[in-house]
C-alpha cells in the first residue's frame, strides 16, 4: 500500500480515518484527516468504503491534489444483493454495507502496520471490536450536533423506560443539561421503533461509550449547553469516561471548482454584495413535484437573486439523491415550471444536482442560505456569517432548524413540521426569502451569524479552543510513538 513507505520513513503518528459512505460524513471526516496532516503533524490513511459510493464521493476522495502525508485506500467492493432491496431504509442500507465492508478491516489495519489510532464516524462502530483485538485505540468523530449526541445518548434509557412510540409522548423529551426535544422534531430514525433504521441507530448509539475519545464537530459559542452537558453533567460523565473534545467547525476550507461550479462563481461575481439566496438541500435532499413547483414560484415571486441546486423531484422520498448524488443526469427544464429558467434568467441561476457550496457561502454576494439544515450545511453557513432559511427534510434536521430559529436566532423556518406533511405555498416562500434578503429581521440574523463566524474563526485559530483540543490529542498520539 502507498502509505507503507511514507509511514516507515517518518516519525509521525499514523492515524486511520474511517467514514461510512455519504457526503455528510465523508466530507467532515476527510477534512478532519487533512487537518491532522496539515496542522498536527500526523500521517493519515483515509479508508474509503467504495460500495454504493456516490460520484461526488469518488470525485472528492480521488482528487489529485491531496496533501503529502494523506492517502486514500479503498475497501474492496462487497455484494449486498440479497441483503438490501430498493425498499430498504437509508440507515439500514448504509449499516449493512458498512458491516460487510468492515469484514476486510482487520487485514487492512495489519497491512498498514497497526496505526496509532483509528477515528470512525457513528455508523462504523463494528470497528471497535476489530481495533480492540489489535490493541488500537478507537476514537469517534460525531458529525452531527452535540445536542443530537446528548439526546441520542439518552436513547438506551428511553428505550427501556418508554412503552409505545416516542412521537406519541405528551411532552417534549427532557435531555440532561440541554433544551428538551419536541416530539415533532424527533429524528426520523427514532420515529418508528419497529423499523430496522431504529434498531441500527440504537445499536450504533449504545456503542459510543466504547470510544477512547469523542470529537465533537462544534464550538462552544454555538452549542454552549450541549457541550457543557456532555462534559460536565453527571449523566454523561458516568457514561462517557473517555475525553470529549469540541474541535469544530470542521468544514471544507476550499474546494476544487470545475465545470458548472466555475459558472456559478463567475455568475456570483456579477451580483451585488449580500443579494443572492443560495438554495441547496444537502447531498441527498429532494422535493416532491408539487413542492418543487411551489418553491420555483416562491423564488420567482420574491424577485430576489438566487442560485438553486435542483434535483429531479421525488414524491416518495425526501433523501432520494443520497446514494447517487453528483452522478444524476437531470434536465431541469423537464420538471421546473414552463419557461421558469427564461423568466428568471439574469436574476437566478439553476444548477443541476451539485454546486460548490462552501465557495458559494464564502462569496460576498451570498445573502442567505435556504438549507435543509444538515449539520455540515449549518456549520458551513454560520462559519461564513450567512443566515439560514430552514427547510428541514430528513434525519435530525428538524431539531437543528428549531435550535437555529428559536435559540440561536440565525434562521427562519418555512417548512419541516413532520406531522403536517404539507406543501409549503409559494407566498410563504416568497415572504421568507424577502424577509431574509431585504427585511430588518434578516439583517439582525445576519449580524448574529457574523458574530458566530468571528467566534468560529477564533476557536479554530492557533490558540483557539478547537485547535488546542485537537492539538492535545495529536500530542498524545505522538507521545505513544516515542514509547
Ligand atoms: N454539498 C455541496 N454541494 C451541494 C450539496 C451539498 O458541496 O450541492 C456538501 C455541503 O457543502 C456539505 C455536504 O455536502 O458539506 C452535505 O452535508 P450536510 O450535513 O449538510 O447534509 P447531508 O447531505 O448529510 O444531508
Summarised one tens digit per residue, pLDDT across range 322-358 is 666 666 667 899 999 999 999 999 899 999 988 999 9
- For 148-263, where are the E strands, in sequence order? 214-216, 244-246
Q: What is the mean pLDDT of residues 235-257?
A: 93
Give the SS3 label for residue 305: strand
Estimate the share of the chain in helix, then strand, then coil, as percent rounded to the nearest 5: 45, 15, 40
- Catalytic residue flag (residue 121): yes
Between the CA of 430 and the centroid of ligand 1 the distance, in Å, is: 24
Q: Pick the catalytic residue: 25, 43, 233, 372?
A: 25
Residue pair 139/213 in contact by the 8 Å Cβ criterion? yes
3-class SS of residue 387: coil
Q: CA-to-CA distance for 3 and 108, rounded, in angstroms?
A: 12
Ligand 1 atom nearest residue 395's Cα: 25
- What's the N-to-C CA distance of the chain in angstroms? 26
User: Tens digits of per-residue pLDDT, 174-208?
Assistant: 999 999 999 999 999 999 999 999 999 999 999 99
Query: Is 418 a residue whose pLDDT tops 80?
Result: no
Cβ neighbour number for residue 351 with a 10 Å cutoff = 21
Residue 25 Cα: closest atom of ligand 1: 24
Instruction: Report d(CA 51, CA 58) in Å as an integer.
Output: 11
Q: Is the pLDDT of residue 460 over 80?
A: yes
pLDDT attached to residue 4: 53
Same fold, 2-250+461-482 and 260-457: yes
User: Would residue 337 be called left, alpha or beta, if left means φ above 0 and alpha means ψ between -120 and 50 degrees?
Assistant: beta
Domain covering 2-250+461-482 in this structure, CATH number: 3.40.50.2000
With beta carbons less than 8 A apart as the criterion, state whether 20 and 121 touch. Answer: yes
| Nearest-angstrom CA–CA distance, 483 and 480 | 5
Q: Residues 376-395: pLDDT tens digits?
A: 999 999 999 999 999 999 99
Q: Which of 166, 160, 25, 36 is nearest to 98 (CA)?
A: 25
Residue 254 · residue 358 · CB < 8 Å:
yes
Q: What is the pLDDT of residue 329?
A: 64
Above 70 in pLDDT, residue 421?
A: no
User: Does residue 373 come out as left (phi exceeding 0), alpha (psi in the -120 to 50 range) or beta?
Assistant: left
List pLDDT tens digits, range 52-100: 998 889 989 998 889 999 999 999 999 999 999 989 999 999 999 999 9
Q: How far is the CA of 24 from the centre of ligand 1 (A)?
A: 6
Cα distances (angstroms) measured from residue 184 to each of 392, 393, 420 = 12, 13, 10
| Substitution candidate for ligand 1 out of 22, 24, 324 with most atoms within 8 A of CB | 24
Beta strand residue intervals within 291-436, DSSP E:
305-310, 348-352, 366-371, 388-390, 411-413
Q: What is the pLDDT of residues 284-328, one digit of tens each?
A: 899 999 999 999 999 999 999 999 999 999 988 877 766 666 666
Q: How far apart are CA 287 and CA 34, in angstroms?
A: 34
Alpha carbon distance 387, 285 (integer Å): 19
- Checking 333-342 for CB contacts under 8 A at 24+ apart, the result is 335/289, 335/292, 335/310, 336/292, 336/293, 336/296, 336/310, 337/293, 337/296, 337/297, 340/296, 340/300
Which grid coordinates are listed for 398? 428538524
Query: Residue 306, Cβ neighbours under 10 Å: how many?
Result: 22
Separation between Cα atoms, residue 247 and residue 146, nearest integer Å: 12
Give the domain ranges of the chain: 2-250+461-482, 260-457
Query: 3.40.50.2000, 3.40.50.300, 3.40.50.720, 1.10.10.10: which CATH number matches 260-457?
Result: 3.40.50.2000
* Helix or strand (DSSP H, E) at 203: helix 196-206
- Return mean pLDDT, the chain: 93
For residue 286, the CA-to-ligand 1 centroid distance in Å is: 13
Instruction: Check if 233 is active-site.
Output: no
Instruction: Convert the pLDDT of each residue in 279-288 to its tens digit.
Output: 999 988 999 9
Closest ligand 1 atom to the C-alpha of 380? 11
Q: Which of 121, 185, 188, 212 is catalytic?
A: 121
Q: Which residue has the cell 427501556?
A: 160
What gap in Å lies between CA 256 and CA 26, rounded to an integer? 16
- Residue of 121, 81, 87, 82 lying closest to 102 (CA atoms): 121
Say yes or no to pLDDT of 420 above 70.
no
Residues 6 or more apart in contact with residue 79 via CB below 8 angstroms: 100
Say how far apart CA 223 and CA 145 lie, in whole Å.
8
- Tell me the CA–centroid distance for residue 438 and ligand 1, in Å: 26
Helices 465-482, 440-460: crossing angle, 10 deg rounding: 20
User: 356: CA distance to ligand 1 center in Å?
Assistant: 9
Q: What is the DSSP string of 324-349?
A: TTTT----GGGTSPTTHHHHHBTTEE
Atom number of ligand 1 nearest to Cα 285: 25
Å from CA of 354 to ligand 1 middle: 9
Query: Pocket residues for ligand 1 (CB within 6 Å)?
Result: 23-24, 27, 280, 282-284, 309, 354-355, 357-358, 374-377, 380
Q: Which of 283, 352, 401 to mutate to test the pocket of ligand 1 (most atoms within 8 A of CB)?
A: 283
DSSP state for residue 173 in the 8-state scheme? B
pTM of the model: 0.95
CA dihedral 90, 95, 98, 102 (to 10 degrees): -170
φ, ψ for residue 276, nearest 5 deg: -110, 135
How many Å apart are CA 134 and CA 439, to the nearest integer? Answer: 58
Amino acid at each position: 500500500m502507498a502509505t507503507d513507505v511514507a509511514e516507515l520513513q517518518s516519525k509521525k503518528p499514523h492515524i486511520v480515518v474511517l467514514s461510512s459512505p455519504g457526503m455528510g460524513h465523508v466530507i467532515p471526516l476527510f477534512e478532519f484527516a487533512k487537518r491532522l496532516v496539515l496542522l498536527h503533524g500526523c500521517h493519515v490513511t483515509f479508508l474509503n468504503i467504495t460500495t454504493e459510493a456516490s460520484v461526488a464521493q469518488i470525485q472528492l476522495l480521488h482528487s489529485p491534489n491531496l496533501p503529502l502525508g494523506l492517502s486514500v485506500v479503498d475497501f474492496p467492493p462487497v455484494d449486498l444483493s440479497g441483503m438490501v432491496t430498493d425498499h430498504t431504509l437509508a440507515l439500514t442500507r448504509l449499516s449493512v454495507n458498512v458491516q460487510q465492508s468492515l469484514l476486510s478491516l482487520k487485514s487492512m489495519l495489519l497491512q498498514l502496520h497497526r496505526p496509532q489510532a483509528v477515528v470512525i464516524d457513528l455508523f462504523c462502530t463494528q470497528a471497535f471490536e476489530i481495533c480492540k483485538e489489535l490493541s488500537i485505540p478507537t476514537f469517534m468523530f460525531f458529525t452531527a450536533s452535540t445536542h443530537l449526541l446528548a439526546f441520542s445518548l439518552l436513547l438506551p434509557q428511553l428505550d427501556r423506560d418508554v412503552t409505545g412510540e416516542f412521537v406519541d409522548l405528551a411532552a417534549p423529551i427532557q435531555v440532561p443539561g440541554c433544551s428538551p426535544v419536541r416530539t415533532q422534531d424527533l429524528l426520523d430514525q427514532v420515529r418508528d421503533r419497529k423499523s430496522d433504521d431504529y434498531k441500527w441507530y440504537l445499536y450504533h448509539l449504545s456503542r459510543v461509550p466504547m470510544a477512547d475519545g469523542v470529537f465533537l464537530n462544534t464550538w462552544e459559542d454555538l452549542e454552549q449547553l450541549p457541550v457543557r452537558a456532555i462534559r460536565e453533567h453527571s449523566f454523561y460523565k458516568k457514561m462517557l469516561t473517555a475525553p470529549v473534545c469540541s474541535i469544530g467547525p470542521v468544514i471544507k476550507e476550499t474546494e476544487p471548482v470545475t465545470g458548472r461550479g466555475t459558472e456559478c462563481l463567475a455568475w456570483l461575481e456579477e451580483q451585488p454584495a449580500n443579494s443572492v439566496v443560495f438554495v441547496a438541500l444537502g447531498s441527498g435532499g429532494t422535493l416532491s413535484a408539487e413542492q418543487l413547483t411551489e418553491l420555483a414560484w416562491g423564488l420567482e415571486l420574491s424577485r430576489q437573486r438566487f442560485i438553486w441546486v435542483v434535483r429531479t423531484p421525488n414524491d416518495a422520498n425526501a433523501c432520494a439523491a443520497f446514494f447517487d448524488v453528483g452522478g444524476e443526469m437531470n434536465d431541469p427544464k423537464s420538471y421546473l415550471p414552463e419557461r421558469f429558467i427564461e423568466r428568471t434568467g439574469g436574476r437566478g441561476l439553476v444548477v443541476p444536482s451539485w454546486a460548490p457550496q462552501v465557495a458559494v457561502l464564502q462569496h460576498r454576494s451570498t445573502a442567505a442560505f435556504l438549507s435543509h439544515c444538515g449539520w455540515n450545511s449549518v456549520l458551513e453557513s454560520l462559519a461564513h456569517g450567512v443566515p439560514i432559511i430552514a427547510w428541514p427534510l430528513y434525519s435530525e434536521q428538524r431539531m437543528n432548524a428549531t435550535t437555529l430559529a428559536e435559540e440561536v436566532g440565525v434562521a427562519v423556518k418555512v417548512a419541516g413540521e413532520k406531522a403536517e406533511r404539507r406543501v409549503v405555498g409559494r407566498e410563504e416562500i416568497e415572504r421568507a426569502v424577502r424577509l431574509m434578503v431585504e427585511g430588518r429581521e434578516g439583517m439582525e440574523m445576519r449580524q448574529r451569524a457574523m458574530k458566530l463566524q468571528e467566534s468560529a474563526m477564533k476557536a479554530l485559530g492557533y490558540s483557539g479552543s478547537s485547535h488546542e483540543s485537537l492539538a492535545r490529542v495529536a500530542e498524545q498520539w505522538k507521545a505513544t510513538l516515542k514509547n
